[in-house]
């Protein structure tokens, strides 16, 4: 029997950079539908979602592959409304493709990446001295916090998964990996990081590196088995 899952990006769908890798974990019996907060919006409507001064912001991806930065609260509200439209429509699970959102309880099962990733990381870091985190934007470094506190020191750096220049993207990942080489564990805390990016950071750091979307995909695979 086919299982149905709905993915919701805070950018534009489809997320060809993320969903295919996650789908490999889920199996052929899982039907995937994708929805995007920015789907169908014009430039002016997107501009209205720009980050407010002093507010935490999101980085996400347009269908073209370009990066866009959005206001946390305005985007999260649009995401919740989009997910509510799909609630009770026969999906086995609803999944926002973001590790920084908080979604109210719905009739359908919701798997929140932030909760899955952060509690997973808190458990694994219980015996660590230092945890390394990589987030997309420099502006996120000071405002970032885990949903579940950890008992060790945390160092947060930035490297965008949406950088269009391959050389700049590779250099940023390499630099982050080298800078976090003294950490016991490194977490790439955005659903936009790929397996290739994880491998690059692992090679540069020589440390164990966790990929957020893989943590979520592995949990979903068991739920939908």
In tens, the pLDDT along 102-157 reads: 999 999 999 999 999 999 999 999 999 999 999 999 999 988 889 999 999 999 99
Other Cβ atoms within 10 Å of 181 Cβ, number: 12
User: How do strand 67-71 and strand 185-188 relate by DSSP bridges?
Assistant: unpaired
Task: Give the domain 116-211 fold.
Answer: Rossmann fold (3.40.50)
Where residue 27 falls (left for φ over 0; alpha for ψ -120 to 50; beta otherwise) is left
Pick the CATH number of 3-112+214-223 from 3.30.1490, 3.30.2250, 3.40.50, 3.50.50: 3.40.50
Q: Is the peptide bond before 14 cis (omega within 30 degrees of 0)?
A: yes
Q: What does the pLDDT look like over 37-54, one tens digit per residue?
A: 999 999 899 999 999 887
Output the CA torsion 193→48→66→27 (10° steps): 40
pLDDT at 53: 85
Residues of the chain with CATH 3.40.50.12500: 116-211
């Amino acid at each position: 029997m086919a299982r149905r899952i709905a993915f919701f990006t805070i950018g534009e769908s489809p997320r060809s950079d993320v969903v295919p890798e996650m789908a490999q974990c889920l199996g052929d019996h899982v039907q995937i539908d994708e929805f995007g907060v920015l789907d169908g919006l014009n430039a002016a409507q997107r501009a209205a979602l720009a980050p407010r001064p002093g507010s935490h912001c999101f980085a996400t991806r347009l269908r073209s592959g370009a990066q866009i930065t959005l206001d946390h609260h305005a985007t999260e509200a649009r995401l919740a409304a989009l997910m509510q439209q799909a609630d009770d429509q026969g999906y086995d699970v609803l999944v926002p493709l973001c590790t920084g959102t908080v979604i109210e309880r719905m009739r359908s099962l919701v798997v929140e990446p932030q909760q899955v990733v952060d509690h997973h990381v808190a458990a694994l870091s219980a015996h660590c001295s230092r945890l390394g985190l990589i987030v997309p934007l420099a502006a996120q470094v000071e405002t970032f916090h885990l949903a579940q506190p950890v008992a060790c020191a945390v160092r947060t750096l930035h490297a965008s998964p949406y950088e269009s220049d391959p050389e700049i993207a590779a250099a940023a990942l390499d630099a982050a990996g080298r800078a976090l080489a003294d950490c016991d564990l490194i977490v790439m805390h955005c659903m936009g990081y790929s397996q290739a990016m994880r491998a690059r950071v692992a090679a540069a750091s020589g440390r164990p590196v966790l990929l957020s979307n893989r943590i979520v995909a592995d949990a979903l695979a068991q739920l939908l088995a």
